[in-house]
Amino acid sequence: MKAVIVSAAIAPLQAQPSAGSEQVSQRLAGHRLTVVEEREPWMRVRGADDYEGWVHRGYVETEGSTPYQRQRTSLGAVIRDARGWPCPMPLGAILPDDARLESGDAVDAAELAQRFPRDADAIVRSAVRHFAGAPYQWGGITPWGADCSGLVQTIYALHGIDLPRDASQQAGVGTPLELPPKALSAADLLFFSDRPDRRITHVAISLGGPRLVHLALGRGGYRVEDLTDAGDPYVKALVGRYLFARRVV
């Protein structure tokens, strides 16, 4: 199948081939997409997580047009591109080989596993550090704006753990845990529902014990919660929606 590479810092994936349709996810610079269908100037594409959506041709380039052999991952870098323009790059974007790092940080693929080990404590440190202050954005996957499952997918991917895109899909990964939230370990995933059919609508990362970190529409974005805080109406409602947990580390 034909493949393209994201050339913009962030490319929105739309539900339909229209800029006015719902954003269902995002793809970042340097990431490869398989083209499933074309309706010029739109392409239905599939990412490495098998999640599909429509992207406008303006956000991508033909595979091979720009070299990405170094596989440098942005940790919040600002680069100077081949045109000489400064370009902020979100967490998780891949930098072109010819890009010059102006500020911030980026890490080569060979060093990524050392900086971000598959370790529960390291995972929660990354979630708290890299997404602190992030606003809520439906379909977003970066600290510039993300939803609950976007936070989870991005952070675990940094640590070499590939997860599906949506919370309902993530709820099928790992080992099920029939435990109350206060008994969970760091990096366990908590799943919640506010629907009568109990379909998963929210996911959070346990910090160990009763604390968790998540991105929530009801909080406007990033928040660390203590589930024993019974005096907080939001926390009380969140505890009432808790269904189960999964362990992926």
For the segment 162-195, what is each residue's pLDDT rounded down to a tens digit? 999 999 999 999 999 989 999 999 999 999 999 9
CATH number of the domain at 116-247, out of 3.90.1720.10, 1.10.3720.10, 3.40.630.30, 3.30.420.40? 3.90.1720.10
pTM of the model: 0.96
State the fold for domain 3-62.
Answer: SH3 type barrels. (2.30.30)
| 100-103 sheet: strands from edge to edge | 86-88, 78-80, 100-103
- Give the residue among 21, 12, 235 at the shortest CA–CA distance from 145: 12
Surface-to-core class of residue 71, CB atoms within 10 Å of its CB (0-12 exposed, 13-18 middle, 19+ buried) = middle
How large is the average pLDDT for residues 117-124? 98
How large is the average pLDDT for residues 182-211? 97
pLDDT at 65 over 90: no
Q: Which residues pair with 25 in a beta bridge?
A: 13
Quick one: pLDDT at residue 202? 98
Residues of the chain with CATH 3.90.1720.10: 116-247
For the segment 227-238, what is each residue's pLDDT rounded down to a tens digit? 999 899 999 999
CB 202, CB 195: distance < 8 Å: no
Under the banding of pLDDT at 50, 70 and 90, the label for residue 82 is: confident
The percent of residues above 90 in pLDDT, for the chain, comes to: 92
Quick one: pLDDT at residue 31? 97
Quick one: pLDDT at residue 1? 77
Residues of the chain with CATH 2.30.30.40: 3-62
How large is the average pLDDT for residues 201-221? 98
List CB contacts of 202: < 8 A, sequence separation 6 or more.
148, 167, 191, 192, 193, 194, 214, 216, 241
The amino acid sitting at 61 is E
